[in-house]
Structure 1
Amino acid sequence: MGSTDNSAIMTIDLKWNRFRIHKSTLNKMGNPQYVQFLVNPEEMFIAVLGSNRPLTGGTSNRVKLVQTSRHYSVEFYSNTLLCALVNMIGTLDFQYSYRMSGEVDVANRVAYFSMKTLKKNERRPPSDG
């Protein structure tokens, strides 16, 4: 067994129509300048394909890192993609975000996530200060 960690994490925030890919996942994908989301409804998978140039055959999204609290990640907003995922998965609570785990195919710069791994994130109460 090798010591290479190819685990990947992505968060879907239904309240804000937001997909957040964690920096560690992007690092394993070779820090792409662009990503494209690919959905396989039959197998319940979503893939994130990385590239250093815009991809053809769909919408490419430019990668721009943002700092969220203590972590760096990249965020994408897509109501269309979110609605398609909700239609495939079924009932989800739009007041929560959900985390998906997956793995990175380093050679092909693709992160694969099974929608069966969705886990609800409990929101922290807002701080008063």
Structure 2
Amino acid sequence: MMSRENLYQPILSIDLKKSLIRVHRNTLRLLGDPDYIQLLINPNAKMIAIKAGDKRDYLAHKVRKYRFETGYSYELYCKDLLQTMMTVDCGWEYGNIFRLYGQFNSKAGVIQFSMLETSPSMQQNTEWSEQTL
């Protein structure tokens, strides 16, 4: 069960087993429940950022609200983005799931997640490799 403190904290899950990124509902709420979001990676700082996007931006992902009817997160299947994340040396291994807790910068309208500060991997499957992404 989530503590009250974590209830409002932005959360991002990186699932290298299923090749998806889960953006938790509270993360989107902090951004004002946008119709589109951008996921940005800074490999030098080993950071991931999420900000509200725009329909005209080709990098933006449409947030499909109907997907929230069955869960508490929005799932993105982004093999290319995950492969880019794996080039950043932060100790991630294929087949694992990582949970990242972020910090919201209200002035910039962006949520930042450190790729180095993850919860312990929740699952491990040693049969997975780079070829599965």
TM-score range, shorter chain: 0.7 to 0.9
Ranges in structure 1 where 5+ consecutive residues have no aligned partner: 124-129
Deviations 1:51-110 (A, max 9, x none): 3x3253x511000243497x4111111111111111103543322210011112234331
SS of 2:88's equivalent in the other structure is helix
Ranges in structure 2 where 5+ consecutive residues have no aligned partner: 1-6, 124-133
Q: State the TM-score, normalizing by the size of structure 1.
A: 0.77
Instruction: Give 1:1-129 correspondences, 5 Å limit.
Output: 7-51=9-53, 53-56=54-57, 58-65=58-65, 66-67=67-68, 71-123=71-123
Letter in 1 for 2:89: I
Q: State the TM-score, normalizing by the size of structure 2.
A: 0.75
| Structure 2 counterpart of 1:127 | none
Distance of 2:75 and 2:89 partners within structure 1: 21
Task: Judging by fraction of residues, say which structure has more strand.
Answer: 1
Deviation at 1:6, TM superposition (A): 6.6
State percent identity of aligned pairs: 27
Residues 8 and 25 in structure 1, CA contact (< 8 A), matched pair in contact too: yes
- Stretches of 4+ moved more than 3 A in 1? none
Distance of 2:35 and 2:114 partners within structure 1: 24
Superposition CA RMSD, Å: 2.3
